């Protein structure tokens, strides 16, 4: 027998020094979205937005059938990127310039590719921040989603030279005129607010208004792991209890996307008609969520825009852990996030108009 060492066929993922500015990464495993995925996503989040639950309701709004919830599209595309971008991450730091460009329906196949648009080694020499712009495409090659995100990634070797530093310029928010309404979307004059879940349309919201979504949902260990597996997000921090026992928190963390979807599902109570997410302007996962925590949520109307066929609300969605949302906690007088805050998300959503 040969004594030559065997080369490992398993992948360790990229460390900070492996990334290069302008690098294009095509991510593995295209994913065909099925009605089973939709049903499981509803089972795991409790989402009740009628547009994604009923083919008949979606048809009344101009769609051929119920589209896939844009957040499910986001999570699936995000999950494709994890093995290449954030397998060795310390933390996902933020999002920007996210736009949903084409609706996705059951039977569509999603694939993803990312471009490295920014790199900066941290002063400790052990980690660095990687900015990527990711595009999710369907089977026809059409871009259904694009977004930027930045993530802190470990170095494999602290003595390895840092790559050339570059900082991308990212918009604070997607401009209203850059929002894309799906082709064919046409909320009818007789839009059925009873079936949708509440009577409040575009004209009923005011900039600066805050909404306590009232409800809470306790997340179990099996639920968050099943949700993250649904998105094929392979980050060890969410699954590997053995590896995480020696980590900073000593246990598995809930994937931040699960927090986003739980908070959005809770926002049905007060924003039932703002169902179709058009853009993700930015977001921060402020504190970690662990199994057994109860998520509550509140929203603030930041901006309004008339897009012709529909209105659009720019919304701040704040998720909390183990605290009622009625006093709208966010930051303390020193400008620091309060300890109960899990998520601070800024996004645009389409909503029917009365006229």
Within a domain: 36? yes
Q: State the first-to-last Cα distance of the chain, in angstroms, to the nearest integer.
A: 80
Note the pLDDT tens digit of each residue in 14-66: 999 999 999 999 999 999 999 999 999 999 999 999 999 999 999 999 999 99
Note the pLDDT tens digit of each residue in 263-294: 999 999 999 999 999 999 999 999 999 999 99
- Strand 31-32 relative to strand 24-26, pairing: unpaired
> Whole-prediction pTM value?
0.94
Q: Write the CATH number for 265.
A: 3.10.129.10
Within a domain: 6? no
Within a domain: 131? yes
Within a domain: 163? no
The DSSP result for 222-268, as a single string, is HHHHHHHHHTT---GGGT-HHHHTTSSSSSPPPPHHHHHHHHHHHTH
pLDDT at 8 over 80: no
Q: Within 10 A of 40 (CB to CB), how many other CB atoms are there?
A: 16
Residues with Cβ within 8 Å of residue 164, at least 6 apart in sequence: 21, 119
Within a domain: 109? yes
Structural domain harbouring 277: 16-157+169-185+193-351
Q: How many domains does the chain have?
A: 1
Within a domain: 11? no
Q: How many angstroms from the chain centroid is the CA of residue 42?
A: 16
Within a domain: 10? no
Residue 163: phi and psi, rounded to 5, are -70, 165
Burial 58-97 (b: 16+ CB within 10 A, else e): bebbebeebbbbbbbbbbbbbbbbbbbbbbbbbbbbbbbb
- Determine the Cα–Cα distance for residues 15 and 153; give it in Å rounded to an integer: 6
In this structure, the dihedral spanned by the alpha carbons of residues 152, 156, 162 and 168, taken in order and rounded to 10 degrees, is: -30
Within a domain: 1? no
Note the pLDDT tens digit of each residue in 145-156: 999 999 999 999
């Amino acid at each position: 027998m040969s004594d030559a060492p065997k080369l490992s066929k398993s992948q360790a993922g990229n460390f900070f020094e492996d990334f290069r500015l302008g690098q294009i990464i095509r991510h593995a495993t295209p994913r065909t979205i099925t009605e089973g995925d939709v049903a499981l996503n509803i089972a795991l989040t409790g989402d009740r937005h009628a547009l994604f639950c009923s083919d008949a309701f979606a048809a009344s709004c101009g769609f051929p059938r119920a589209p896939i919830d844009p957040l499910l599209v986001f999570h699936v595309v995000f999950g494709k990127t994890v093995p290449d971008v954030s397998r060795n991450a310390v933390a996902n730091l933020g999002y920007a310039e996210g736009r949903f460009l084409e609706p996705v329906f059951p039977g569509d196949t999603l694939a993803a590719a990312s471009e490295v648009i920014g790199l900066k080694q941290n002063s400790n020499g052990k980690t660095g921040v990687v900015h990527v712009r990711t595009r999710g495409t369907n089977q026809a090659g059409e871009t259904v989603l694009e977004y930027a995100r930045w993530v802190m990634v470990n170095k494999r070797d602290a003595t390895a030279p840092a790559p050339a530093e570059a900082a991308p310029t990212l918009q604070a928010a997607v401009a209203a005129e850059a929002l894309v309404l799906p082709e064919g979307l046409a909320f009818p004059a007789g839009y059925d607010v009873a079936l949708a879940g509440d009577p409040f349309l575009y004209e009923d919201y005011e900039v600066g208004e805050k909404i306590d979504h009232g409800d809470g949902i306790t997340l179990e260990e099996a639920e968050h792991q099943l949700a993250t597996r649904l998105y094929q997000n392979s980050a060890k921090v969410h699954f590997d209890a053995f590896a995480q026992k020696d980590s900073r928190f000593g246990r598995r963390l809930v994937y931040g996307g699960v927090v986003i979807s739980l908070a959005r599902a809770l926002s049905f109570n007060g924003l039932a008609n703002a169902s179709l997410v058009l853009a993700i302007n930015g977001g921060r996962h402020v504190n970690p969520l662990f199994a057994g925590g109860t998520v509550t949520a509140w929203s603030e109307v930041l901006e309004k825009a008339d897009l012709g066929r529909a209105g659009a609300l720019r919304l701040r969605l704040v998720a909390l852990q183990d605290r009622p949302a009625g006093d709208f906690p966010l930051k303390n007088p020193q400008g620091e996030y309060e300890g109960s805050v899990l998520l601070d998300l800024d996004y645009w959503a389409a909503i029917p108009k009365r006229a």
